Amino acid sequence: MIQQREVPLIKERLNRRPKSLLIRGGRVIDPSQQVDAVGDLFIADGKVRWLSTQGTFSAPENCPVVYARGMVVCPGFIDIHCHLRQPGFEEKETIATGTCAAARGGFTTVCCMPNTDPPVDTRATVEYILSVAANEGAVRVLPVGCVTKGRAGSELADFGELATSGVIAFSDDGNPIADSLLMRRALEYSRDSGLPVIDHCEDTSLSKGGMMNEGAVANRLGLKGIPAAAEESMVARDIELARATGGRLHIAHVSTAGSVALIRRAKEEGIQVTAEVTPHHLTMTEERVMSHSGYDTNAKVNPPLRTARDVQALISGLKEGVIDAIATDHAPHTDADKRCNFENAAFGISGFETALGSLLALVHRGEIDLMMLISKLTFEPAKVIRKNDIGTLKVGAPAAVIIFDPDAEWVVDPSAFASKGKNTPLAGETLKGKVMATIYGGEVIYKDDAIKLETARR
């Protein structure tokens, strides 16, 4: 068993020409090319230069070589929904710490939500995030812009300015877009621009004061519940607005069986809707809130953890293609945010560094296959945000690659997280499956010390 420990992030920075690297003998899985075979991958000048499952590659002299026998080599993961907190909430996370955590979890592209201070509703804030990411980030950061000014829900943000400044989608995540006319206008713009509107679907008149899933567990703990209808009613509304406008709708963090059914019907009717699900909604139920002390604030998340029936519906939705992507909704918080009574605790789980290990449990149990899991973390989220050059190992693509051992067991120790957010309900648990190396820009930016770099010699 591999004990989780502090492993240094290896970062070759600005103005250094990327080295070549050969990854030899791993199980190469690339859903974008339907590749699943043992092979070699050669990287040079920051690009994928050679991929073969037919023969071995003769590496240049002194080229670093990673022998990946027994491990999986695949495109770097793409997280289309996370919270990096900067600007404004640097006590919870920064772009530097968040992207280091992402690299340790195998994510080479992260899309950060705009619930910062100030919110991402102007060109200046977008440019600030991109500048900090370029200078301090470990992986690619793609900002999501606000739907409404200040995320206040009363006036649309300047979509044109945000689009030209580099956002890849629009969202008021954390706040649902309650005004149906504003949502309609946003979807009309998404139709014309091609950038999706990502909605946090929640009818707050139904969820107000709720802290976990409405049901028997909430009753037992004496906590006010959040009904499934709070999500499903807004999903239904958004789908109808997408139908009326032809806009591009993306449903964030789907959590209920009813939402899956609504999205399935919408897709069958040809409505432009995509959806994501989180690792915690795929692998945990409302029971996780209960602990020996009564409840676990680290399992408080919005939308809440639901029932076993909902979990099975979400897994079925993945397998059927109803749900397009897995996104972490990485939501780091300070200890003070979580070390309090359940009512006052913040919603959210710090998810970058445990995502793969928790998700591989589904593969080990035979509930989904490994190709599908990797597809939902790479190729398919890239399609949602229309980035054709990422999430792939095609020759010529940017070299964003991870190596993971699907059978390595490790114990979750939040104190060793690269993220400032230590808030996970998985603390002390043993996960099976671990990222061993992350390559971004052709450079090894994270490496477990079980992985050795050797040198090719003539």
CATH code, domain carrying 45: 2.30.40.10
Q: Where are the alpha helices (DSSP H) in 63-179?
A: 95-104, 123-136, 159-165
> Bridge-partner residues for 440, per DSSP?
443
Domain end: 332, 363, 384, which one?
A: 384
pLDDT tens profile 313-344: 999 999 999 999 999 999 999 999 999 999 99
Sign of CA dihedral 304, 309, 315, 321: negative
One of 173, 199, 329, 448 is an active-site residue; which one? 329
pLDDT of residue 321: 98
Lowest mean pLDDT among 14-23, 118-127, 319-328, 369-378: 14-23
CATH of the domain at 295: 3.20.20.140
Round to whole Å and give the CA distance between 310 and 318. Answer: 12
The DSSP code sequence of 183-217 is HHHHHHHHHHH-PPEEE----HHHHTT--EESSHH
With a cut of 50, say whether residue 4 has pLDDT above it: no
Q: Are residues 378 and 406 in the same domain?
A: no
CA-to-CA dists, residue 89 to 60, 83, 317, 342, angstroms: 46, 10, 34, 22
Q: Residues of the chain with pLDDT > 70: what percent?
A: 95
State which of 356, 384, 412 marks the end of a domain. Answer: 384
State pLDDT tens for residues 161-191.
999 999 999 999 999 999 999 999 999 999 9
What pLDDT score was predicted for residue 458?
53
Mean pLDDT calculated for residue range 87-116: 98
pTM of the model: 0.95
Verify that 376 and 448 share a domain, yes or no: no
23-57 pLDDT, tens digit per residue, is 999 999 999 999 999 999 999 999 999 998 887 77
Amino acid at 450: A
Confidence of residue 291 (pLDDT cuts 50, 70, 90): confident
pLDDT computed for residue 294 by the predictor: 79
Element (H, E) at 379: helix 379-384
If asked whether residues 360 and 424 sit together in one domain, one would say no
Same domain for 356 and 430?
A: no
Q: Which residues span the domain enclosing 411?
A: 2-74+397-455
Residue 13 has pLDDT above 70, yes or no: no
In what helix (H) or strand (E) does residue 405 lie, and over which residues does it extend?
Answer: strand 401-411
Percent of the chain residues past pLDDT 90, beyond the cut? 90
Report if residue 217 sits inside a domain.
Answer: yes
Q: What is the pLDDT at residue 457?
A: 60
Catalytic residue list contains 329: yes
pLDDT of residue 8: 42
